[in-house]
C-alpha cells in the first residue's frame, strides 16, 4: 500500500491545476506515495475543510477570491491547523508580500509545479524517518489532549482556575483520565437533555454520536501515543520496521497502513472534540 498524500487545490481555472498536477505526478512513484487531490474553483469553505479533513497540502492563489493570503494563514494557524500551504501569484512581488516561512511556500504561478514537487519530496523524507514521525505524532496527540483540557475547563465555568490548580495540574491527571472526564461530561449533558422539556431529540442524537466517536480515542490515539513514547526500533519476522512496545503491549508496524491510519485518526478526533465543545457551549444551557 502506498502512503496517501492529500491535496486541496483551489483555482478558478481547474484545468490549469490539472495540467500542473499531471506533471507533478511524473516525479513520484505511486507504489510509494499516492497523490490524492481535490481541485475546486471556490475557496469559501477552506477553513472548515482544514479543520475536518485529513490534508497534507493546500494549493491556492494568494489573492483567493479577493481575500488576503496572510489573513487566511493567520486564521488557520490560530485554529491549530498546521497543513502546509503553497501560494502562487502572478505578482512578481509575491516573495516580499508573503515570506517563505515554515509551512508556507510562496511562488510565481509558473513556478507552482516545481514548488509543489519540493514540498512533496521533503514530506517523503520526513515521513520515512521514524524519529521524525514519532515526534510529529506525539506532538499532534498533545494537541488532541489540549482540546480535552479546554472542554474540561469550560465545564467548570467560573471555577476553572481552581479546577486547573487542584486537579488538572496533578500528575495523576494524564491523557487517559482527561478522556474519561470528558466522557463523563458528555454523559451528564445527554442525561440533562433527556430530562429537558421540550426534549431536543436532534441534540441528543448529536451528542450520542459524538460520544460514540470519542469512545475510540483510547485505542486510536492514547494507546498509540503511549507506544510511541515507550518503544524501541526493531524489525518483525517479515522484516518490517517496527516500534516494539517496552511495556508488553502491542507493537506498531511502521508501514504506510499505520501512517495513513494514525494521521486520519488524529484529524478525526480533533474535529470530533471541536464539535463536542461547540455543542456543549452553544446547544445546552
Does 66 or 231 have the greater pLDDT score?
Answer: 231
The pLDDT score that the predictor gives to residue 285 is: 41
Q: Give the single-character DSSP code of 218.
A: I
- Quick one: average pLDDT of 35-51? 83
Q: d(Cα 280, Cα 276) in Å, to the nearest integer? A: 6
Model confidence pLDDT, tens digit, residues 81-115: 778 899 888 888 777 777 666 688 989 989 999 99
Grid cell of 166 as nine digits: 487542584
- Quick one: average pLDDT of 201-215? 94
Does 240 or 272 have the greater pLDDT score?
Answer: 272
Q: What is the DSSP string of 117-168?
A: HHHHHHHHHHHT-HHHHHHHHHHHHHHHHHHHHHHHHHHTGGGHHHHIIIII
Identify any residues that bridge with 241 across adjacent strands, giving them in sequence order.
Answer: 235
Does 98 or 55 have the greater pLDDT score?
Answer: 55
The full set of domains in the chain, from first to last, is 3-127 (3.40.50.2300), 130-282 (no CATH)
Pair 134, 122: CB distance under 8 Å: no
- Quick one: average pLDDT of 228-253? 80
Model confidence pLDDT, tens digit, residues 124-176: 888 878 888 888 889 889 999 999 999 999 988 888 888 888 888 888 889 99
Residues sharing a CB contact under 8 Å with residue 60, sequence separation 6 or more, in sequence order: 9, 10, 11, 43, 46, 69, 85, 86, 87, 88
The pLDDT score that the predictor gives to residue 231 is: 84
Grid cell of 123 as nine digits: 514530506
284: pLDDT confidence band, cut at 50, 70 and 90? very low
Q: What percent of the chain has pLDDT over 90?
A: 36
Amino acid at each position: 500500500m502506498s502512503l496517501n498524500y492529500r491535496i486541496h487545490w483551489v483555482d478558478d481555472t481547474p484545468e490549469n491545476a490539472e495540467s500542473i498536477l499531471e506533471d507533478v505526478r511524473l516525479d513520484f512513484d505511486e507504489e510509494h506515495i499516492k497523490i490524492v487531490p481535490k481541485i475546486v474553483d471556490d475557496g469559501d469553505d477552506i477553513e472548515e475543510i482544514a479543520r475536518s479533513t485529513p490534508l497534507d497540502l493546500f494549493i491556492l492563489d494568494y489573492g483567493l477570491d479577493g481575500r488576503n493570503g496572510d489573513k487566511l494563514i493567520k486564521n488557520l494557524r490560530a485554529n491549530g491547523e498546521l497543513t502546509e500551504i503553497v501560494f502562487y501569484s502572478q505578482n512578481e512581488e509575491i516573495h516580499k508580500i508573503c515570506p517563505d516561512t515554515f509551512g508556507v511556500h510562496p511562488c510565481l504561478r509558473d513556478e507552482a509545479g516545481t514548488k509543489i514537487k519540493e514540498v512533496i519530496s521533503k514530506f517523503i523524507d520526513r515521513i520515512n524517518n521514524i524519529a521524525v514521525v514519532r515526534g510529529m505524532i506525539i506532538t499532534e496527540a498533545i494537541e488532541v489532549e489540549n482540546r480535552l483540557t479546554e472542554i474540561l475547563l469550560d465545564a467548570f465555568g467560573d471555577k476553572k482556575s481552581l479546577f486547573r490548580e487542584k486537579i488538572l495540574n496533578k500528575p495523576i491527571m494524564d491523557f487517559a483520565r482527561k478522556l474519561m472526564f470528558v466522557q463523563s461530561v458528555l454523559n451528564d449533558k445527554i442525561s440533562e437533555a433527556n430530562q429537558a422539556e421540550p426534549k431536543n431529540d436532534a441534540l441528543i442524537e448529536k451528542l450520542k454520536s459524538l460520544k460514540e466517536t470519542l469512545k475510540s480515542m483510547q485505542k486510536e490515539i492514547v494507546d498509540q501515543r503511549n507506544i510511541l513514547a515507550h518503544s524501541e526500533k526493531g524489525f518483525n519476522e517479515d522484516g518490517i520496521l517496527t516500534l516494539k512496545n517496552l511495556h508488553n503491549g502491542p507493537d506498531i508496524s511502521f508501514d504506510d497502513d499505520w501512517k495513513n491510519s494514525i494521521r486520519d485518526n488524529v484529524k478525526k478526533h480533533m474535529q470530533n472534540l471541536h464539535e463536542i465543545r461547540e455543542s456543549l457551549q452553544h446547544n445546552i444551557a
